[in-house]
Structure 1
Amino acid sequence: MKALAFDLGAGSGRAIVGEWTKDDRLVLTETHRFANEPVRAGRRLHWDILRLYHEVKLGLAASARAADGPIDSIGIDSWAVDFGLLDRNGDLLGNPVHYRDSRTDGLMEAAWQIVPKEEMFSRTGLQFLPFNTLYQLWAMKREKSPLLEAADKLLMIPDLLRYFLTGQTFGEYTNASTTQFLNASTRRWDTELLERFGLPSGILPEVAQPATVIGTLRASVREELGIPGIPVVAVGEHDTASAVAGVPAADGKPFAYLICGTWSLLGTETAVPVLGADAMRFNFTNEGGLGGTYRLLKNIMGLWLIQECKRLWDRQGVRRSYGEWAELAAREKPFLAFVDPDDDSFLAPAGMPAAIRAFCRKTGQPEPETEAQVMRVVTDSLALKARYVLERLERLTGIAYGGLHMVGGGIQNEALCQSTANAIGRPVWAGPVEASAIGNLAAQFMANGRLSDLAEARRWIAASIDIREYEPQNKNEWEDAYGRFVRYVV
């Protein structure tokens, strides 16, 4: 049995075929990889959604050629909060706007004048981020956008791509839960909340649960690509939901995870949303998960800092791989200075290295002079921020976690994994790298009945992958560093 996962990140996408082998293991084959580069047109930063759809079709064709036997299902996961609008004829109204666009600047605080912050959190359970879908829609309303006025349906990014493939308009639950207008307790759209902002609730699609077959490939897609009518599954379409499903926590005990990518997400699974005052004060979120779970987690502005530094240095002709930068940073003296990765100055700076130095200068710390020193400051700070968030997670749940599961592309940075173990003073279990794709595939196998539930999926994943354990080192040094670090956390 084979399933095809499209895993779209903020910088790239990939098509991965997952085969359930005769010995009940999972084997992954990457069949297509492509860039996902935003496009600035006039005053707006957009996603190139039609290019992404074209790459999905290329991935479909490549996977059909590469697979030894039929592909049994398809699933798509991507980042959250962004969306496309369809008119009443089902045509796309403009390119979706990128969450790093400036149109929502200052709107989050203004929104609290209409619906108080406390009420909004108690209804939606969602962390407050300036680019949440609610504020993006409200920005369009305030600008009297003709696109919003003409809209008949709102679809999140994976919903939109799935619509292009199947013609079916559903809003998958895990991604819908990131909009800040899905009620955390009822798991339904909070239409009354939207109406208080003067936003149309009639454009919202029917919510579909993950691990559900939504439709099959349109005839036009089948004819264009020369492939059969493959079922398309609503997986955990928020890539974080799929990544959490891909965590190999096989013993069934409560666990903490750190999904390490452009964003780092640190959290746990809960059976009910955590909506108290501390959860709001710590800016945690309750997003939907597979199997009726909630993802109680906090966003950390993760590898974005490293990626943006590398992008600038590449442009300046200082070209090194991520692995080379990690090795150079590991040779530098630790704890020169610290930054709070979640400081607003790092969200979309003109130059990330300059923003890091400016933070150090503003807070009275030594400025890193070399590129390797900048990387070391970021690595130390990301590890210490993980401890800061983990401690607050434990306060919310009342659980002391024995270690931390790290998954995602960032675990290829061995120095970061070791630094995180050092910072939290507990083991880090690293793996798998392709957690989102694996969770995506698991949802597909749940939809077709090959896996019964999430617990069985995690046991199957754990039996199929290699996990590397990092034990904490240099406890006293890291304790002292943490005491210094917390002074600079916003």
Structure 2
Amino acid sequence: MKKVIAFDLGASSGRAMVGELSDNRITIREIHRFLNEPVQVRGTLYWDVLRLFHEMKQGLVKAKAEGEITSLGVDTWGVDFGLLDDKGRLLENPVHYRDVRTKGMLKAAEERIRLEELYQITGNQLMEINTAFQLLSLVSDKEAALQRADTLLLMPDLFNYMFTGKRYAEYSIASTTQLLDAKERIWSEKVLKALGISETLLPEIIPSGTLLGTITAEIKEELNVSSINVTAVAGHDTQSALVSVPAREKDFLFISCGTWSLMGTELDSPLIDEKSAGYNFTNEGGYGGKISFLKNLTGLWLVQESRRWWEKEGTAYSFSELEKMAESTEAFQSFIDTDSEEFALPGNLPERIREFCRKTGQKVPETPGEIVRCINESLSFRYRTVMEEITDCTGLAYDRIYMVGGGINSKLLCRMTACACRKEVVAGPSEATVYGNIALQLIAAGDIENLTTARSIIGQSAEISIYQPIKQEEWEAAYKRYKAVTGKEK
């Protein structure tokens, strides 16, 4: 029975999870959890990357009690990066995608390359948080770190480098940057030149699931651990999660639901045309060269940030308490555009939600329960609009929606999604990213045959719940109101 470690780092916390394959089932167990809190320093929001790597090493130390660990894999959020000098030293802590440095960079990019052309090359949803616009902010400000930089490594690649000393760009995380030619699957010379970014800054792209080597002798000695293989799993957490979608049909809809919601479908090749550009869809690379045709949406961060604000005000609610309060409030009182810019930054989100409702002539949600119900109903209707856009782009019909990730722990959101979208919702696994990370390590080691087999094994290993739509007339009437209020009407 082989044991491997998945390091899964999200926007607020990280975990070390041990996975074990036995009797065609994968069992997982958390052995170490740590906070991932950004640090504000003189107007810049940084990730505390050295602390994160220290915690990952503590995960390896704790794993010694589990027996022999043969492999590790790292997945993280997308778009952010670290810069190394010519001696391989980190020049500064990576900057958080929510930092203000990218504000106005879409407009600045348009002065260098038409945004329509940028989309046609990269197939990426145009978002100012993307790596391309982060780099453009450094180019525009003539930042010293960029001028001294020898190599850019995206977050999972940076941790892989810290473990192995090897510099590569794994395909899935590279595809989040808006620097990759989506069809050729190489760095776009045209985009790099237009934005003033040196081609030599970006390392070689390798396929998801590539075995990189082993942890360095230095780490083995420091931690007193044996040799451990390092696999470049699908480094973008969304793509590791997609390995876990328990779909048997070829054409399916998915929602990877957590702090962010990523909704889309899986394709064999990029879909880049006038419709996809108009809807601002992204084409993201995954394991086996698959393409996730998806849209990046604000997710349960709205609830998470509201909860943090209420805690600052002196009341600490659990997520289950907030969900119960939301369930007990009246339905369809007010809606928000969950992707509106006014909800993008940390702070007093409950008041911003109230202000949106005031401006749009709706009932103003006052209590935490009313706020959370407003968020959940609005999210579920947002999924409906994206589902309709996907159907319009692909011309395909879908029987159900597969929801994976930590967000499915909100049974309220799962039920609402089924009702809003008028589709059966198959929810699970909640630890989709971890299962996918582990499965890709086992495929690389030859213990699982392929992606189809991995999905079958994960489907047998994890808890899966099914939700059916109800009260469809009420939900349909509310959806029309939602579109009118948020401007989502076609």
TM-score over 0.5 for the pair: yes
The equivalent residue for 1:108 is 106
Q: CA deviation at 1:192?
A: 2.4
1:197-276 alignment to 2 at 5 Å? Answer: 197-249=195-247, 251-276=248-273
The equivalent residue for 1:418 is 415
Give the % identical residues. 45
Cα distance change, pair 133–107 in 1 and its aligned pair in 2 (3 A): same
Question: Within 2, Cα distance between the matches of 1:365 and 1:110?
Answer: 36
Structure 1 gap ranges (5+)? none
Question: Within 2, Cα distance between the matches of 1:116 and 1:64?
Answer: 53
The equivalent residue for 1:399 is 396
1:16-415 alignment to 2 at 5 Å? Answer: 16-21=17-22, 23-65=23-65, 67=66, 69-249=67-247, 251-415=248-412
Alpha-carbon deviations, 1:358-386, whole Å to 9, x = none? 11112221211111111110011011111
Alpha-carbon deviations, 1:170-208, whole Å to 9, x = none? 111100001000100011011221111211111101111
What is the SS of the residue equivalent to 2:181? coil
> RMSD of the alignment, in Å?
0.9
What is the SS of the residue equivalent to 1:26? strand
What is the SS of the residue equivalent to 2:333? coil
What is the SS of the residue equivalent to 1:202? helix
8 Å CA contact 2:242–2:436 kept in 1: the answer is yes
Alpha-carbon deviations, 1:372-406, whole Å to 9, x = none? 11111001101111111111111111111111111
Alpha-carbon deviations, 1:56-95, whole Å to 9, x = none? 1011111222x1x311110000000000000000000001
Q: CA deviation at 1:113?
A: 2.3
Question: Within 1, Cα distance between the matches of 2:449 and 2:110?
Answer: 42
8 Å CA contact 2:244–2:459 kept in 1: the answer is no
Which region of structure 1 is more displaced relative to structure 2, 329-338 or 56-65? 56-65
What is the SS of the residue equivalent to 2:220? helix
Question: Within 2, Cα distance between the matches of 1:48 and 1:32?
Answer: 18
Alpha-carbon deviations, 1:250-298, whole Å to 9, x = none? x243111111100001111000101011111111100001111001001
* AA partner of residue 374 (structure 1): I
Question: Within 1, Cα distance between the matches of 2:149 and 2:346?
Answer: 33
The equivalent residue for 1:449 is 446
Give me the TM-score of the superposition, normalised by structure 1: 0.98
Q: CA deviation at 1:452?
A: 2.1
8 Å CA contact 1:349–1:355 kept in 2: the answer is no
Question: Within 1, Cα distance between the matches of 2:13 and 2:315?
Answer: 22
8 Å CA contact 2:305–2:347 kept in 1: the answer is no
The equivalent residue for 1:8 is 9
8 Å CA contact 1:81–1:156 kept in 2: the answer is yes
8 Å CA contact 1:80–1:178 kept in 2: the answer is yes
Question: Within 2, Cα distance between the matches of 1:214 and 1:266?
Answer: 30
* AA partner of residue 170 (structure 1): Y
Q: CA deviation at 1:454?
A: 1.1
Question: Within 2, Cα distance between the matches of 1:156 and 1:477?
Answer: 45
Question: Within 2, Cα distance between the matches of 1:489 and 1:219?
Answer: 57
Structure 2 gap ranges (5+)? none
* AA partner of residue 472 (structure 1): P
What is the SS of the residue equivalent to 1:483? helix
Question: Within 2, Cα distance between the matches of 1:107 and 1:358?
Answer: 27
8 Å CA contact 2:404–2:429 kept in 1: the answer is yes
What is the SS of the residue equivalent to 2:396? coil
Q: CA deviation at 1:349?
A: 4.4
8 Å CA contact 1:3–1:17 kept in 2: the answer is yes
What is the total number of aligned residue pairs between the two structures?
A: 486
Question: Within 2, Cα distance between the matches of 1:381 and 1:280?
Answer: 24
The equivalent residue for 1:432 is 429
What is the SS of the residue equivalent to 1:72? strand
Question: Within 1, Cα distance between the matches of 2:37 and 2:463?
Answer: 32
Question: Within 2, Cα distance between the matches of 1:124 and 1:253?
Answer: 25
* AA partner of residue 253 (structure 1): K
Question: Within 2, Cα distance between the matches of 1:350 and 1:106?
Answer: 21
